Amino acid sequence: MVKLAPQFAYQKQIASGILEREFHTTEGLTHFLNILDFSGDDENQASFDPTHGFHLEHLKGLGRGSLLTDEERDIYLSKYAHTGLHGPCNWYRTRRENFEDDQLLPTTIIDVPVLYIAAERDRVFSASLAQDMEHFVPQLSRASVDAHHYAHMEKWQDVNRILSAWLHVQFPR
């Protein structure tokens, strides 16, 4: 998959176990959350390259982002302190098996209304990945927000506005 879509190379780093080894303490998990909690500033953007992964040397110096409240951040830290990153990283370890399983699925047309909201500044899921979706999803509606990967958190008001408008069109009163 990395040959076809090099922006997915970061998944190899996550599957390798290095993040679990590097960020197993509460302090380490705090550093790790800083990259997930970014608001799109240049400092945090430089800490992650989809074609490589996380630049571990940058993570330890990152400041806190603005997407999570203190309460939300404490919940994440509490859960990850108890379980570590092993579970979330396992999803990336099973990508090949999931891909192989998916090959057994019949090619079908998804013929129900679908809304796709693109994050315009997402460096992993670029617009080109979704360019031919209409072939498989004929009732596709598209929208976009000026956001990074976590658009639903970063620009939640815009996402909710788009979703609400789409639902009103799909299910008029």
- The reported pLDDT for the residue numbered 56 is 85
Tokens standing for 56? Answer: 């571990």
Tokens standing for 71? Answer: 């309460």
The pLDDT confidence band at residue 43, using thresholds 50, 70 and 90, is: low
How many C-beta atoms lie closer than 10 Å to residue 134's C-beta?
Answer: 11
How many C-beta atoms lie closer than 10 Å to residue 28's C-beta?
Answer: 20
Count of structural domains within the chain: 2
- The reported pLDDT for the residue numbered 67 is 84
Domain that holds residue 162: 114-170
H or E stretch covering 117: strand 114-119
The whole-chain average pLDDT of the chain stands at: 88
Cα 93 → chain centroid = 16
Which of the two residues, 40 and 141, has the higher pLDDT score? Answer: 141
Q: Given a cut of 60, is residue 39 above it in pLDDT? A: no
- The reported pLDDT for the residue numbered 107 is 83
What are the residue ranges of helices labelled H in the chain?
10-16, 18-22, 26-36, 42-45, 56-59, 70-83, 86-93, 95-102, 151-154, 156-170
* End-of-domain residue from the set 101, 133, 148: 101
Question: Residues 47, 93: one domain?
Answer: yes
- The reported pLDDT for the residue numbered 149 is 85
Q: Considering the domain boundaries, does residue 106 fall inside one?
A: no
* End-of-domain residue from the set 101, 123, 138: 101
The pLDDT confidence band at residue 141, using thresholds 50, 70 and 90, is: very high
- The reported pLDDT for the residue numbered 161 is 99
Would you tell me the crossing angle of helices 70-83 and 26-36 to the nearest 10 degrees?
130
The pLDDT confidence band at residue 15, using thresholds 50, 70 and 90, is: very high
Q: Considering the domain boundaries, does residue 107 fall inside one?
A: no
Distances (CA, A) of 106 to 4, 37, 55, 98, 157: 22, 38, 39, 15, 37
Q: Given a cut of 80, is residue 1 above it in pLDDT? A: no
Q: Considering the domain boundaries, does residue 109 fall inside one?
A: no
Question: Residues 83, 126: one domain?
Answer: no
Per-residue model confidence as pLDDT tens digits over 85-138: 999 999 999 988 998 998 998 888 999 999 999 999 988 888 888 999 999 999
* End-of-domain residue from the set 76, 101, 126: 101
Question: Residues 96, 132: one domain?
Answer: no
